[in-house]
Structure 1
Amino acid sequence: MMLLFFNSTTQGQVLDKQLMLDRFDFWQNKDWAWYKENIPFFESPDSEIDKTYYYRWEMMTAHLVYGSPETGYSSTEFIDRPWWSGRYGAISCPAGHQLYEFRWLKNKRFVQDYASYWFNTLGAQPRNYSNWLGDAIWQSYKVNQDKKFVLGLKKQLIKNYEGWEKEHFVEEEGLFSWDGMHDGMETNINSRQTKDWFAGSPGYRPTLNSYLWADALAIRNIALLDGDKNTFTLFNQKAQTLKKNFLEKCWDPKRNFFFHRFQNDEEGGIKANTLTYQSGKYAGDLHGREQMGFIPWYFRMPDAGFESAWQYLMDPNYFFSAFGPTTVEKGDPLFNVAKNCCAWSGNAWPYATSQTLKAMANVIKYYKQDYVNKADYFKQLRIFAKTHRKDGKPYIAEANDPETGSWQGHDVIGHSEHYFHSAFVDEVITGLVGLEPKETDSIEVNPLIPDEWDYFALDDVNYHGHQVAIIWDKTGTKYNKGKGLLIISDGKVIASSPVLKKLAAAIDFKPTLKMDRTVNYAVNNETNQYFPRAMSSFPGIGNNIYQKINDGQYWYYTST
């Protein structure tokens, strides 16, 4: 696979990049030049977080796929492409997480190719699973401010949203409905009460309704960029109506949480338009809380007044565990930690952990509440970092035991080794370091680091076309750039504080050089279309010689 770079620098403003890479011995992809050209570098006093940060970048290189000269780059979820994946192995379920991660690569071609892939590639399957593609594309714009690119996707984003409405919007309720399987949440506590225990029955869920509220806002904001008042007004109204209906109909004030709401009558006495455990076998049970109930805060969807949901996250009687929040509260009558894949009734799920971390950071920064604080955030982030281990080495799979951290039963060969269905880099950059991208000519930093830290550095971030570094140097002697919290842009300090606090500064958009659009005609993902062309007298039963030899991937991991 050919990995290109663009408008990047091998030298940071603060950190020695090679020294940062040499700190760890887990590397299987040792393309040092690519890392130096493309990723922001990070250093902190916590080696576990640092190790996982760099591992996540290496893991991403294993999932980047050069699909074709027409499509460019996309990403896989499973390194070994499963039959249910779309063209070139992409699956829409984790695409929001993946785009949030890719937006920090200095070569914006990666994130832009992948964003475009979903709407311009035959077989991409953008609505096979619930996702927040529109929001992720808008959030990527807030990092690189490529107005031409994001406006070029406006029509496709509108068409995609209309597809969601046609397929899943229930007019009389004003909400979107789907089952848990298509959230990537098979065998959950709601599906297990229905005839189809694996997929479940349709319902109004915190997932899809939050995602499409955020997508509507994204389309509204993109429309504003080119003065499209009609589209702005239309999608602003869609977002307002969806939010109103969701907050009114999916919140239970008795249990202080957002829940799945059944669309139809189901077996066992479950009634349409009731929340989890308001009807059926477990009617009246005061449990039923699922981790997905935190998702609305990922997008800052709830108004003030719903923060009481967060009282349960850090409580070991509910969601808190040694190796990640459980997908269902522990006292639930259907709570179960499964030893097999595709079961979300108790296991810790990195996909949801990432969502919870971002939601948690938003609650701490933007809502008045006393349920969670920055010490809690760091505790959860560090747990997530340490969960990325197997036999002492960096690793991630589909799910883990929340009490032991074991991946057993969830990482069989060829299934989910080094699985790309979550985010971590973005949580470090936007949560821990606190860089909150803006669509305006500004930069804001609001760290959630521990009070006892004497230093950290995030270096060589491509933000609005500038080379940005953010450092905390309590004494001024660690990096010799100044004392306290500093924002550095293109070598100049543009904001500083002697103490940890929210910092903001003006930063304009700096146009970059034209992107390198070099193509690779040798990748040959398309059978008999490009060269080289491979032939074999016997490729093996059920094997495709083109896919095996010319699949556009380079396999770094010897364990897969």
Structure 2
Amino acid sequence: MPRPLAALLTALAALAPVPAPAAIDTHRVATAHYGNDAPWYEARIPFFESADPAIDRVYYYRWMIVRAHQRDLGERGFITTEFLDDVGWQLEPWASLNDATGFHLGEARWMHDRRPADDYIAFMYTGGNDRHFTDYLAASVYDRYLVDGDRAAAIRHLPAMRTLYTQWDDHFDAARGLYWVEPLLDATEYTISSIDASGGLDGFTGGDAFRPSINAYMVANARAIARLSRLAGEEPAIAADYDRRAATLAGRMEEALFIPALGHFADRHRSTNAHVRAFAPIRGRELVGYLPWTFDVARDDPQLAAAWRHLLSAEELGGRFGMRTVEPSYEHYMRQYRYDGGGHDGGRRECQWNGPVWPYQTTQVLTGMANLLDHYRHSPVTRGDYLRLLRQYTALHQQGGRLDLEENYEPDTGLPIVGLARSHHYFHSGYVDLILTGLVGIRPRADDVLEVNPLLPAAGEPQALAWFRVQDVPYHGHRVAVTWDADGSHYGRRGLAIEVDGREVARRPGLERIVLPLRRAALPAIERPVDRAVQLVRGAFPKGSASTGTDAEKVHDAIDGRVWFMPELGNGWSSAPAPAAQWYAVDFGKPVSLSRAELAFFADGGRYAVPRGYRVQAWVDGTWQDLRARADAPLANGITHARWPATTTSRVRVTFDLAPNRAMRLVELKLF
């Protein structure tokens, strides 16, 4: 063949479309993991598969946790809860807590449905954040912007961000140049500082300390406010002020909270008492010392980075089944102080941070380790270490063959410690974000760039992952897919590939950082239908009533804005098994216009079954009248839809025809 012709054919081949790897069958995968509730996930989440089935299972389980913890507040939109059911220390009547908001937003920013994160942020900045705990809310808002690129949403709450930041002045010691907090209000009761401040007798309260956590959060929040201020086009002096605050605080953290004798960031006591001395460092290493890397506060310095060796040591913070919150050398390591009910009677153990594994800090530390591996030059940890610890964390989600993440764990056995009813499917941590930003390596940015750097060890290493694919990842208004195949045996082509909106835009033969220009695209408007049936305050309108099973709390549960189908913790109104005809009604206390309903039925193959049929009725002219509804057949453990011409009424009733000898459970009735 003449050389010019050969060159032409080569050039034409290079221009030809490159076949993308086979897409994940999202309907099949969603149905396999979520059954009848699959449509919710198909419309909202990125899909992932890999050579490690355990990671895959937990990835999809963690999306189920996201779904279960979304609470619809009606006109105030959605928030995300920490516990599936109510606890005594939540903010009423919302059932919100602010300590895990950063994790909630870190997961939700990867959803195609932007409403949950948007509503949640608005809630937190319009009275929903009571500073019950420390948090890094402003930083989380900015991190969400790095994924979706929605400038208007990111800057909407800037005044409230600055107000909230200033409110923390009541925990700032100007003489020390540091923030302090009681460990309990840092969501970490029974730490070294609180236990030692009590003389070893207690530690649930007390023990105020200058901690790496609150100070790292405040650096991250100040940086975020500065960046968002610039994004909003505000007076440059405003951003400069917050940049100065962040830089000064970060420098002071290193000066005061990196303890050379420990080779670790650690607390210093705030006050002197009979047991501790003001500004003396605590007498041991804690996992919280890695948070300066979680928020990129730590300098890229070999002496600081050496602290990570303590995490890799089985005698120090590296437990066999998880990261210890305190090292075993501490005098009160794993000493149990508190039991369910508050007594010291040897009953069921309550939460403590003096050694147990907590998914909360495990998530933070893995995020910090990913940062260390991605953009720090000095690191004693490897990508193999990252995958090993990610897999260790993954294993904690498995409880005797079923998936159930609980509050905390034994570091040497991996068994749950607390195990109370409230502990099931606990949303006090993150996982999806670790997979997408760490393992897959999508590093969100503020500019028009897509950067991917998978944190995988090289093929042949013990923790190597032979292949993975993630698709339908929302990023700057596009859908992104990333595929890795070490030898080409799984997807038919070797290497790392990136697709944008279904078209392959980059491929490399091995694992390496890929940086591509990507102009952001317009985002669709957020739709905000309002559920008119939500009862937030018991006894207030809307009010529920039922034919049987009239316990007030259970009747309330069917209109509390929460939907989950997990059998470990029942949710909703449960009827008696007879008579066959039953009903559930909602009284709005005023006329409202309605045109559709969503009904969530729970079924377990035993006591509870979906009804054989149902009718939607409205109170019109003093009588119940059937609505001309186009009604789906009742669906078990999913959403059943009914629609009718818009009708104004003050009451709605749904009548049910029960299956023989079976009760029914109405998880939630939503009316729009």
Q: TM-score, normalised by structure 1?
A: 0.90
Give the residue type in structure 2 aligned to 1:239.
A
Instruction: Give 1:411's match in structure 2, choosing from 406, 414, 419.
Output: 419
Give the residue type in structure 2 aligned to 1:469.
A
Number of equivalenced pairs: 526
- What is the rounded CA distance, in whole Å, between the counterparts of 1:446 and 1:138 in structure 2? 21
Do 1:191 and 1:197's aligned partners in 2 also have CA atoms closer than 8 Å?
Answer: yes
Give the residue type in structure 1 aligned to 2:441.
G
Map 1:11-160 → 2, pairs under 5 A? 14-21=23-30, 24=33, 27=34, 30-69=36-75, 71-87=76-92, 88-120=94-126, 122=127, 124-160=128-164
Task: Tell me the SS of whatever aligns to 1:236.
Answer: helix
Give the residue type in structure 1 aligned to 2:48.
F
Give the residue type in structure 1 aligned to 2:211.
R
Compute the displacement of 1:479 (Å). 3.5
Pair 1:193 & 2:192 matched:
no
Match of 1:178 in 2: 181
Greater mean alpha carbon deviation, residues 378-387 or residues 508-517: 508-517
Pair 1:348 & 2:357 matched:
yes
Task: Tell me the SS of whatever aligns to 2:73.
Answer: strand
> Residues 337 and 193 from structure 1, CA distance in 2 versus in 1: closer, same or farther, beyond 3 angstroms?
closer
Map 1:421-440 → 2, pairs under 5 A? 421-440=428-447
Do 2:178 and 2:210's aligned partners in 1 also have CA atoms closer than 8 Å?
Answer: yes
Q: Deviations over 1:221-258 (max 9, x none)?
A: 00010222122011111101111111101111122101
Compute the displacement of 1:549 (Å). 3.6
Choose between structure 1 and 2: higher strand proportion.
Answer: 2
Compute the displacement of 1:476 (Å). 4.3
Instruction: Give 1:507's match in structure 2, choosing from 515, 518, 542.
Output: 518
Q: Deviations over 1:340-389 (max 9, x none)?
A: 22211111011010011001111122222342110000000001111101
Compute the displacement of 1:433 (Å). 0.6
Structure 1: state its 5+ residue gaps. 1-11, 278-287
Do 1:495 and 1:504's aligned partners in 2 also have CA atoms closer than 8 Å?
Answer: no
Compute the displacement of 1:450 (Å). 3.6
Match of 2:611 in 1: none
Task: Tell me the SS of whatever aligns to 2:482.
Answer: strand
Instruction: Give 1:244's match in structure 2, choosing from 227, 251, 254.
Output: 251
**Which has the greater radius of gyration?**
2
Task: Tell me the SS of whatever aligns to 2:312.
Answer: coil
Structure 2: state its 5+ residue gaps. 1-20, 337-347, 460-464, 570-672
Give the residue type in structure 1 aligned to 2:85.
D
- What is the rounded CA distance, in whole Å, between the counterparts of 2:541 and 2:240 in structure 1? 46
Match of 2:389 in 1: 380
Compute the displacement of 1:545 (Å). 6.8
Instruction: Give 2:330's match in structure 1, choosing from 315, 329, 332.
Output: 332
- What is the rounded CA distance, in whole Å, between the counterparts of 1:314 and 1:341 in structure 2? 28
Q: Report the RMSD for the aligned CA atoms in angstroms.
A: 2.1
Do 1:116 and 1:153's aligned partners in 2 also have CA atoms closer than 8 Å?
Answer: yes
Map 1:117-516 → 2, pairs under 5 A? 117-120=123-126, 122=127, 124-165=128-169, 167-195=170-198, 197-228=203-234, 229-268=236-275, 270-277=276-283, 288-305=284-301, 306-336=304-334, 338=336, 340-407=349-416, 409-413=417-421, 415-452=422-459, 453-476=465-488, 478-479=490-491, 482-516=493-527
Compute the displacement of 1:521 (Å). 1.1
Give the residue type in structure 1 aligned to 2:455.
L
Do 2:100 and 2:429's aligned partners in 1 also have CA atoms closer than 8 Å?
Answer: yes
Match of 2:18 in 1: none
Compute the displacement of 1:266 (Å). 2.1
Give the residue type in structure 2 aligned to 1:215.
N
Give the residue type in structure 1 aligned to 2:377.
K
> Residues 200 and 13 from structure 1, CA distance in 2 versus in 1: closer, same or farther, beyond 3 angstroms?
farther
Compute the displacement of 1:527 (Å). 5.3
> Residues 13 and 40 from structure 1, CA distance in 2 versus in 1: closer, same or farther, beyond 3 angstroms?
farther
Do 1:341 and 1:399's aligned partners in 2 also have CA atoms closer than 8 Å?
Answer: no
> Residues 216 and 549 from structure 1, CA distance in 2 versus in 1: closer, same or farther, beyond 3 angstroms?
same
Do 2:149 and 2:476's aligned partners in 1 also have CA atoms closer than 8 Å?
Answer: yes
Q: TM-score, normalised by structure 2?
A: 0.75
Q: Deviations over 1:83-123 (max 9, x none)?
A: 21114211101111111011111111111111111012x4x
- What is the rounded CA distance, in whole Å, between the counterparts of 1:159 and 1:537 in structure 2? 49
Compute the displacement of 1:483 (Å). 3.6
Give the residue type in structure 2 aligned to 1:498.
P
